[in-house]
Amino acid sequence: MVSIVIPVYNQHELTLECITAIRKHTQNCEVIIVDNGSNPPIKQPYTGFIETIIIRNEENLGFPKAVNQGIQSAKGEHIILLNNDVIVTPKWADKLINALNQFDIVGPMTNYCAGLQRVQIPAYSNEDELNKSAGEWAGEYEGEIQPVNFVIGFCMAFRRSLFEEVGEFDISLWPCSGEEVDFCYKSKELGYTVGIVKDCYVHHEGSQTFQIMDVDYQEICERNDKHLAEKWGNNFWKQEIEKVKTPGVRLNLGCGYRKIEGYINIDNRAIVEPDLLCDVTLGLPYSDNSVDEIRAYDFMEHIPIGKVIPVMEDFYRVLKPGGILEISVPSTDGRGAFQDPTHVSFWNKNSFWYYTDDESRKLYGINVKFDIELLEDRVTDNQNLIIHTCFTGRAVK
């Protein structure tokens, strides 16, 4: 039997959606909900013939503590940790458990997470479309498992016996972030293996609990990354990034001091010592159809509003057919767009209509066309009400 452990803090509707998908797509399992001080408390959901246990904490003890509680109450030989903002797809658990015949800890692919598990699959807007896209993805990568150093804890599977040998998840990493990385490294230190099950795809909303907590998400990540670096080495993230270096030209615009391995890091300030010193508003020094990927994080808001369309058209010019454009920009739906005096253009989700929607493009004669693979808002600083609009588009030529 599989024991599915789901820590929960409020978000009752999300939890119900998660449980409903489990009920539809999972057999021979039990569900253990660890209610971390929800108000009102989580009630027993309808799960059909699936046995469900609710463990109630009167306060939010954090994800690692809840995970440990859930596993200690589990009856199954196999454990799956699952965030309550995940929607599972057909045969998801079977694929993960079968993969444990080859690897000791495994995780699926998804639309939202850090590291190597994030992918873009054909767009979906409802459960049927999600299941169809996940099925098509599974057919392309059937049976493939990628060895890695760690998987992200939104969904991860392992044997109960491994937990008993390795020990509990690190509760010092409150409220969460990095405890699964630490668990994977502790397991590898004992000779166990970790892998990504490439033909298993689940949908992940991402960062939902942080959005309702009065905490600084960025500060928590930086604190916990420092803790992990001291324990497992400063390059534990870099080692994973290097696993997916692919041939081709990949540009990181406005890099500042945050250079990324495997990319050509571009900036117009010599002081940051970029790989390429370039003013993007004057055009990128690349020939037509020669670039595989452009990454523009916290960059487009520094492009004067009158130059935005020419810059986007130049991105489109240099990208290969099917090339990827990734943009993350402060949204006008939050404070971040207006609080920085260096921002000279303003964005939200609707801004991308003019580069993806035929009627909007035609209205202004914009010679750019991207297919949307991702377009969503993410709360990146709950305390200061900062929202980022995140866009991933594929050039249509």
Same domain, 201 and 344: no
Last residue of a domain, one of 174, 209, 242: 242
Report the alpha-carbon distance of residue 234 to residue 163 in Å, rounded: 26
Same domain, 281 and 146: no
The H helix count followed by the E strand count for the chain is 12, 16
Provide the pLDDT confidence category of residue 214 given band limits of 50, 70 and 90: low
SS3 171: coil
Same domain, 226 and 257: no
**How far apart, in Å, are the Cα atoms of 134 and each of 69, 199, 266?**
31, 8, 35
Q: Does 253 score more than 50 pLDDT? A: yes
Number of residues that make up the chain: 397
Average pLDDT, the chain: 89
Parallel, antiparallel, or unpaired for β 2-8 and 78-82? parallel
Rounded to two decimals, the pTM is: 0.61
Q: What is the pLDDT of residues 285-311, one digit of tens each?
A: 998 999 999 999 999 999 999 999 999
Report the alpha-carbon distance of residue 316 to residue 331 in Å, rounded: 22
Residue 54 bridge partners (DSSP): 33
Same domain, 115 and 213: yes
Place of tokens 């299941």: 131
Residue 296 bridge partners (DSSP): 327
Q: Does 212 score more than 80 pLDDT? A: no
CATH code of the domain covering residue 112: 3.90.550.10
Same domain, 233 and 290: no
Report the alpha-carbon distance of residue 146 to residue 375 in Å, rounded: 27
Same domain, 228 and 252: no
Q: CB-based contacts of 316: which residues, under 8 Å, 6+ apart?
A: 325, 355, 367, 368, 369, 370, 395
Structural domain count of the chain: 2
Neighbours of 385 (CB within 10 A): 12
Q: Answer yes or no: are the C-beta atoms of 4 and 23 closer than 8 Å.
A: no
Same domain, 232 and 254: no
List strands edge to edge, sheet with 370-381: 276-277, 264-267, 250-253, 291-297, 319-330, 386-395, 370-381
Provide the pLDDT confidence category of residue 229 given band limits of 50, 70 and 90: confident
Q: Answer yes or no: are the C-beta atoms of 10 and 34 closer than 8 Å.
A: no
Provide the pLDDT confidence category of residue 123 given band limits of 50, 70 and 90: confident
Same domain, 100 and 187: yes
Provide the pLDDT confidence category of residue 247 given band limits of 50, 70 and 90: low
Provide the pLDDT confidence category of residue 366 given band limits of 50, 70 and 90: very high
Report the alpha-carbon distance of residue 105 to residue 378 in Å, rounded: 29
Q: Does 60 score more than 80 pLDDT? A: yes
Q: CB-based contacts of 112: which residues, under 8 Å, 6+ apart?
A: 118, 204, 205, 206
Parallel, antiparallel, or unpaired for β 155-159 and 78-82? antiparallel
Same domain, 340 and 312: yes
Q: What is the pLDDT of residues 377-387, one digit of tens each?
A: 998 888 889 99
Same domain, 187 and 266: no
Last residue of a domain, one of 179, 210, 242: 242
Percent of the chain predicted with pLDDT > 70: 91
Same domain, 15 and 156: yes
Name the nearest CA neighbour of 299 among 239, 362, 229, 389: 389
Q: Which domain holds residue 137?
A: 2-242
CATH code of the domain covering residue 322: 3.40.50.150
Last residue of a domain, one of 242, 277, 303: 242
Q: What is the pLDDT of residues 312-339, one digit of tens each?
A: 999 999 999 889 999 999 999 999 999 9
Q: Which residue has the higher pLDDT, 163 or 249?
A: 163
Provide the pLDDT confidence category of residue 219 given band limits of 50, 70 and 90: low
Name the nearest CA neighbour of 352 among 393, 291, 303: 393
Same domain, 118 and 235: yes
